[in-house]
Amino acid sequence: MKWHIKGGLFVLWVCWLALASAAFAASRNYVVQGDIVYTPACGEAKILPQGYLVVKEGKVQGAYDKLPKDYEGWKKQDCRGKLILPGFCDLHVHAAQYRQIGLGMDEALLEWLEKYTFPEERKFSDTAYAERVYGDFAAELAKCGTTRSAVYGTIHRQGAEILARKLTERGLGAYVGKVNMDRNAPDYLCETSAGSLAETERFVKAPVWTDLVRPILTPRFAPSVTPELLQDLGALAKRENLPVQTHLSENKAEIQWVAELFPKIREYPKVYEHFGLYGDTPTLMAHCIHMSEAQIKEMVSRGVYPVFCPESNLNLTSGIMPVRKFLQAGAKVALGSDVGAGHDLFMPHVIVRAIQVSKVRAMDYPEEKALTLPEAFYLATKGGGSFFGKVGSFEPDYDADFLVVKTPKALAERSVQERWQHFIYHGTPEDITARYVAGKQLRLP
């Protein structure tokens, strides 16, 4: 009798499993109808008024003017009158600087680091503090519609693991880095070389990684990492096939400093190259403001991503990245908020700032034509998204990362293109009514 009951329960359990997974699969297959805008190529806005986005098991099946017959029976979400946009990709952001947004922006870089950034980063040795701030940070990213990001933690391994967990809990996609610093940092943020490597090795093996949230090696920048540690990190990248993110050529004093610290190599990008941290695995280089034509060409040939951070270009008076030159050279340019040197996580603000600072360059250098909205939007979606795989577009087989965005009533009669422009220039996170990553809707707090 006992066995009968157990056997019955087992059968029930199997049935339940089958039903549940069928339901799950079904919920992963659906059609969204709305005003679709995306940029399959840099500068090319594809606009489908009242179009159909078909999602199958988390992937885009296609974006259509008219729903193909095959999908007619599928579950439909009616978002007519709303915009359907790819989620935003922020390829350079310091999560640990979230609480210092906007503070001390009148200070010069070094004073700003000493008065604000380093004391703030120190606090992340406290895991309770990390829980709190990283939880807020992940919630804010989701609210802002940033579905993918490349994020810096601090030197603290446990904190960075908490950051990874918080992003996962929120349903976001990200690369997360534990920062390395074993010289030229305040005592309280300076690791031993061996300790930094050991902690990084533990970090990349930590039980926090998922398909969506993955580790990335994060030497802060060449001046704060010894050649020995750079060497070890390069070897680790190669051995474990890990991507890399760091800073490059942000200001002239920094470039000079690197030349002095690495007298045999001297050239800043060559330093990373020398240690196997420059395109041997997928690589993000933030800023890239002051680079020669030859350096740009070399960067392109190595497939390294320059990350354009226009807001921090302005706030830190570090110069303006010549984004048009990179695009003309064929570089895979991404956009970054650079919070906290940038003061805003909301990527539409970063898109507008990218256009504006490119206009500033165009005033001085007319041959460097200003970015258009379809170009800057591409950088913030498919451009940066390509670092994660097939992300940031609505072409078939892309991860179904998308946002549903409402339009103010007064603009309801405007064209889809104009309502898209209005959202980017004047929208707020509150205009986003839903966010999806790989087909799955995000929970907001």
Taking the least distance from each CB to its own copies, the nearer of 112 and 272 is 112
Q: Using CB under 8 A, which of the segments 32-40, 47-55, 224-232, 354-362 binds its own copies? A: 354-362
Q: Considering the complex, what minimum distance in angstroms separates the CB of residue 370 from its own copies? A: 7
Report if residue 426 touches its own copies, rule: CB under 8 A.
Answer: yes
Q: Using CB under 8 A, which of the segments 169-177, 185-193, 352-360, 437-445 binds its own copies? A: 352-360
Q: Considering the complex, what minimum distance in angstroms separates the CB of residue 380 from its own copies? A: 16
Question: 């297959």: which residue's tokens?
Answer: 29
Alpha carbons 101 and 343: distance in angstroms, whole number = 5
Amino acid identity for residue 139 in this structure: A
Taking the least distance from each CB to its own copies, the nearer of 279 and 310 is 310
Query: Which residues, including other chains, have CB under 8 Å from residue 12's CB and lie 6 or more apart?
Result: none
Candidates 1, 5, 110, 410: give the one binding its own copies (CB under 8 A): 410
Q: Considering the complex, what minimum distance in angstroms separates the CB of residue 23 from its own copies? A: 38
- Site map for its own copies, 359-388, x if CB under 8 A? xx-xxx-----x-xx---------------
Taking the least distance from each CB to its own copies, the nearer of 75 and 426 is 426
Q: Considering the complex, what minimum distance in angstroms separates the CB of residue 364 from its own copies? A: 8
- Site map for its own copies, 207-246, x if CB under 8 A? ----------------------------------------
Taking the least distance from each CB to its own copies, the nearer of 396 and 408 is 408
Candidates 356, 386, 395, 406: give the one binding its own copies (CB under 8 A): 356
Candidates 97, 146, 200, 315: give the one binding its own copies (CB under 8 A): 315
Candidates 2, 5, 66, 106: give the one binding its own copies (CB under 8 A): 106
Q: Considering the complex, what minimum distance in angstroms separates the CB of residue 430 from its own copies? A: 8
Q: Considering the complex, what minimum distance in angstroms separates the CB of residue 181 from its own copies? A: 25
169 half-sphere exposure, CB direction, 13 A CA radius: 16
Q: Considering the complex, what minimum distance in angstroms separates the CB of residue 356 from its own copies? A: 4
Q: Considering the complex, what minimum distance in angstroms separates the CB of residue 105 from its own copies? A: 6
Report if residue 136 touches its own copies, rule: CB under 8 A.
Answer: yes
Report if residue 104 touches its own copies, rule: CB under 8 A.
Answer: yes
Candidates 47, 113, 190, 320: give the one binding its own copies (CB under 8 A): 320
Candidates 54, 160, 163, 355: give the one binding its own copies (CB under 8 A): 355
Instruction: Please state the three-class secondary structure of 393-441 as a single string.
Output: CCCCCCECCEEEECCCHHHCCCCHHHHHHHHHHHCCHHHEEEEEECCEE
Report if residue 344 touches its own copies, rule: CB under 8 A.
Answer: yes
Task: Copy the structure tokens of residue 117.
Answer: 């950034």
Report if residue 252 touches its own copies, rule: CB under 8 A.
Answer: no
Q: Using CB under 8 A, which of the segments 17-25, 273-281, 417-425, 433-441 binds its own copies? A: 417-425
The residues binding its own copies (CB under 8 A) are: 99, 101-106, 132-133, 136, 314-315, 317, 319-320, 343-344, 352, 355-357, 359-360, 362-364, 370, 372-373, 410-411, 414, 418, 421-426, 428
